Amino acid sequence: MPRRFFIDDRKGFTLVELLVVIVIIGLLATLVIPGLFKKLGKGQYEAAKAQLASIEQALDQFRLDVGRYPTTQEGLNALVTNPGVDLWDGPYAKSSLLTDPWKKPYQYQCPGSHGEFDLFSYGKDGAPGGEGQDKDITSWE
């Protein structure tokens, strides 16, 4: 006679136990998630500062080759494609570097109000001024 297995004594979780676990996970999430978003915002701000430093290096390399910084009209795209300059030996930067972590283009002016050029991002809100993640990130500060 073949052996037959019967599973009559099944054990599992009750609905109440499952609801308690879900409530505990929800409480933990409300404590942890706001802290993660703060870290994410700070990380984007720090990434923008690092990108500004990389763009400044690319601008300096452009100046070493060409003898001047790109004009405001040429913009930062002069670091990626030749704007019609004879001594251009680029590309000096990747095009993806020219947008901030919030997917907005970096602002560039040459000559600048704060130095030979001004390079900045308006932060998360995309508007001048602000605090926290909305604070402007500049090359002169």
Q: What is the CATH number of the domain that holds 70?
A: 3.30.700.10
Whether 38 shows a pLDDT value over 80: the answer reads no
pLDDT band at residue 54 using 50, 70 and 90 as cut-offs: very high
Output the pLDDT for position 37: 64
Contact 93, 75 (CB under 8 A): no
- pTM summary value: 0.68
Mean pLDDT of all residues in 45-60: 90
* Domain of residue 120, residue span: 15-138
Instruction: Using the CB atoms, write b or e for 98-113: b if 16+ within 10 Å.
Output: bebbbeeebbbebebe
pLDDT band at residue 80 using 50, 70 and 90 as cut-offs: very high
Q: For residue 132, is it within any domain?
A: yes
pLDDT digit string (tens) for 99-111? Answer: 998 899 999 999 8
Q: For residue 88, is it within any domain?
A: yes
- Considering only residues 68 and 33, tell me which one the structure prediction assigns the higher pLDDT: 68
Domain count, the chain: 1
Burial class (CB in 10 A: 0-12, 13-18, 19+), 44: middle
Q: For residue 112, is it within any domain?
A: yes
